[in-house]
Amino acid sequence: MTREFPTAANLEFSNGRTALEVRERFCNMYPEGEKAWEAFATKKKDAMAECAAKITLVMERQFGMGAIHIAGAHPEHLPKPGGYEATQECMLTPYQILKKKELKQPKFSRENHLFRREINVCNHCRMHSCSAYCLKSRVKAVPYNEALHQHMDSAQVFTNKKDQKMINVPTPVECRMDFGAPLESDPTGDITRGKPRVDTPYLEVDDNGILKYVSRRNHPRLVASGLQFPYWGANGDFQILLVNKRDPTFDDIPVEKNRRERIAQFSQNLVASGLGGLDHYNCLHTLSCYLTGYECKGNPSSAEWKDAVKTLNHAFAVYRPLSRRA
């Protein structure tokens, strides 16, 4: 035990990157450890790539997951990008997209024009537009510099476990849905460039150690979705969980260990890899905490929702039949 590692590195039990960072720092203290960590990182990278290739087949063939705009190389069917010059003059403006009124037409009336319907609905309600809802600034702890931070709030200054003086500083504003930072050339300040093109789907690991599938993408603003989108006819925010649905087999753990020891070793291996959320029991606990916190966070309602509720209450009070009033 040291100031650097108040808890033994192999006992650090966190779901995501925290456990991974502790073990990396510990290994990098010694030449042999650096080699061991490099070998581990390479093995994990190869395993993630192999896993992504197999999962992609399921995600695309069974669920239709992707962020592919079927207009392809036809700019007259694509919306103009905001905040910077459009690549083609014939690209659609927001007014032109809304004027098509695709969402007001039932699907059965468009069975002979499904290609055009898909394009119109995507342009209308599947394009992410950054606003105050998603553009946020995070807080990051950095070493305190008196000359640089003298005018900042002193309440944000603290001392970490290494006796270093630190300060929490706000980071530049970015879209929390990962659509980028606002462009300086945009006068409204709320338009971002969007997400980069993805030709080969891959897997990301979130802070809870749960895998997230990043789908194939040919448009920077399209929200990734699946087969349900054309039928639902609206944007749907969902994520398919990548987690074991049954107990592990422990094939790579010595059989001489009893079941409790093998479960402990399996969990420890996942945590050491920064993938603690892959265990389905751990994942269930994480999701329960997330959903409970999300549903009980008590944030104030948006102005639009507040106006909608007032309108409904007013309509109910004014227009309901007199015989039903209390």
Residue 131 lies in a domain: no
Domain membership flag for residue 324: no
Question: Is the pLDDT score of 325 beyond 50?
Answer: no
The H or E element containing residue 21 is helix 17-27
Does residue 202 lie in a domain region? no
Better-predicted residue by pLDDT, 143 or 323: 143
159 found inside a domain: no
pLDDT higher at 187 or 261: 261
The model's pLDDT over 25-40, given as tens digits with 9 standing for 90+, comes to: 888 888 888 999 999 9
What beta strand segments (E) does the chain contain?
A: 135-136, 139-143, 157-159, 165-170, 174-175, 202-205, 211-214
Phi, psi of 35 (to 5 degrees): -65, -40
pLDDT, the chain, mean: 80
Q: Which two tokens stand for residue 105?
A: 């037409």
Q: Which of 60-64, 150-154, 161-165, 208-212 has the highest mean pLDDT?
A: 60-64
**How many domains is the chain partitioned into structurally?**
1
pLDDT of 1 higher than 50: no
Other residues' Cβ atoms within 10 Å of the Cβ of residue 5: 16
Instruction: State mean pLDDT over 205-219.
Output: 88
What would the pLDDT profile of 98-138 be if each residue is shown by its tens digit?
999 988 888 888 889 988 998 998 899 888 888 888 888 88
**Is residue 30 a part of any domain in this protein?**
yes
